[in-house]
Amino acid sequence: MSTLTEAEAPPPLAPTAPETKPPRKRGRWTPYWLLLPGLLWLIVFFALPMIYQASTSVQTGSLEEGYKVTWHFATYWDALSEYWPQFLRSVFYAAAATVLCLLLGYPLAYLIAFRAGRWRNLIMILVIAPFFTSFLIRTLAWKTILADNGPVVHTLNSLHVLDLTNWLGWTAGDRVLATPLAVVCGLTYNFLPFMILPLYTSLERIDGRLHEAAGDLYARPWTTFRKVTFPLSMPGVVSGTLLTFIPAAGDYVNSELLGSTDTRMIGNVIQTQFLRILDYPTAAALSFILMAAILAMVTIYIRRAGTEDLV
């Protein structure tokens, strides 16, 4: 991705609809009336809460005596110095899951877009339908799949894969459950559809004649992929990686169900601080740090990937 220079960046996709803006005389206020209810909802229940949270994060006090805004910015520093391992771990797990999703998801998206033929609709259904089984139920199923005496662990053990992953620190002893590997596996599984769908959308838009043209110019399949297909699918790659990385970094379900206390992510910390310890300022500061970190990373990433055609 880092090799993608301005010159090689994919051209913006041609808009499918002709540009349509006949100036209308009537209804100058219509767009505002259409926007009003929905935007009010987002302002009151999305933007306003952020402001409340900002003010909470600089408050001091206790639950009994109440909190007051004292501009106590040290909360940020304390939270960061105490929980930086969980922050780092979240970024690392989310990045690993995103890379795995891309590696696993690309072939399937490619298969649906170009090779599936009459099976295309069926495969699409099979990709989307698991969404409707609660993701918690499916994540719990991974407990069965990765169980200590189960076939997966047994196979990995006899192939000596576990020796390697133990050495890398991804697993511990003869088990996969309650290790980083299990958490990353769960994250990858949970966010894979969010990678596949945007990839498929952008692959499907590619004109098949471009592949023929590449072939006519004596490009081998791999070269065609590297020079034509992959660059043209960049919008899908960018939005897929974002849709995977962002929720994965804030997730605490996988680490709670498949991991152990050694795999706690920042989401777990925020949840515990907010709902069990009831230390609202620290919880608010932590979620602001998470938000700022993600926004910063996403901005840099979008700049480098060179596309703003996201949603």
Partner 1 sequence: MPFVNWLKRHLVVMAGILTLAYLLLPNVIVTVFSFNKPKGRFNYAWQQFSLDAWKQPCGVADMCGSLSLSLQIAVWATVGATILGTMIAFALVRYRFRARGAVNSLIFLPMAMPEVVMAASLLTLFLNMGAQLGFYTILIAHIMFCLSFVVTAVKARVMSMDPRLEEAARDLYAGPVQTFVRVTLPIAAPGIAAGALLSFALSFDDFIITNFNAGSTVTFPMFVWGSAQRGTPVQINVIGTAMFLVAVLITLFSMLVTNRRNNQKA
Residues 224-263 that bind partner 1 (CB under 8 A): 242, 246-247, 249-253, 257
Q: Which is nearer to partner 1, 10 or 274 (CB)?
A: 274
3-state SS string over 175-235?
A: ECCCCHHHHHHHHHHHHHHHHHHHHHHHHHCCCHHHHHHHHHCCCCHHHHHHHHHHHHCHH
User: Which of 198, 240, 259, 267 is in the footprint of partner 1 by CB under 8 A?
Assistant: 267
Q: Give how far Cα 1 sits from Cα of 94, 136, 244, 301, Å.
A: 18, 34, 17, 10
Single out the residue of 168, 217, 291, 296 in contact with partner 1 (rule: CB under 8 A). Answer: 291
Is 123:110 a contact under the CB 8 Å cutoff? no
Among residues 78, 89, 93, 57, the alpha carbon closest in space to that of 266 is found at 89
Per rule CB under 8 A, count of chain residues that contact partner 1: 88
**HEC-encoded secondary structure of 118-166:** HHHHHHHHHHHHHHHCCHHHHHHHHHHHCCCCCHHHHHHHHCCHHHHHH
Q: Min. distance of Cβ 273 from partner 1 in angstroms?
A: 9
Judged by CB under 8 A, the stretch of 77-85, 126-134, 162-170, 210-218 that binds partner 1 is 126-134
Candidates 92, 230, 274, 301; binder of partner 1 (CB under 8 A) is: 274
What span, in angstroms and rounded, lies between the C-alpha atoms of 193 and 176? 24
- Among 69, 80, 136, 210, which residue interacts with partner 1 (rule: CB under 8 A)? 136
Nearest to partner 1 of 6, 65 (CB atom): 65
Applying CB under 8 A, which of residues 134, 207, 209, 218 lies at the interface with partner 1? 134
Beta bridge partners of 66: 62
Q: C-beta of 7: minimal distance to partner 1 in Å? A: 28
14 binds partner 1 (CB under 8 A): no
Burial of 228 (0-12, 13-18, 19+ CB in 10 A): middle
* Token pair 């960046």: residue: 9
Choose which of 13, 126, 159, 164 interacts with partner 1 (CB under 8 A): 126
Find the helix or strand (DSSP H, E) in which 110 lies.
Answer: helix 74-110
Q: Which of residues 17-56 bind partner 1 (CB under 8 A)?
A: 17-18, 20-21, 30-32, 34-35, 37-39, 41-43, 45-50, 52-53, 56
For 206, phi then psi, to 5°, come to -70, 130
Min CB(5)–partner 1 separation in Å: 26
2, 11, 14, 15: residue in contact with partner 1 (rule CB under 8 A): 15
Binding track, positions 165-204, relative to partner 1; x by CB under 8 A: ------------------------x--xx--x--------
H or E stretch covering 67: strand 66-69
Among 69, 80, 141, 168, binds partner 1 (CB under 8 A): 141
Helix (H, G, I), strand (E, B) or coil at 263: helix
Stretch that binds partner 1, among 154-162, 165-173, 205-213, 269-277 (CB under 8 A): 269-277
Q: In this structure, what are the phi and psi dihedrals at residue 47, rounded to the nearest 5 degrees? A: -75, -50
Nearest CB to partner 1, comparing residues 157 and 271: 271
The span of 72-80, 122-130, 165-173, 204-212 binding partner 1 (CB under 8 A) equals: 122-130
- In the list 10, 78, 135, 231, the residue contacting partner 1 (rule: CB under 8 A) is 135
Between CA 165 and CA 172 the distance in angstroms is 8
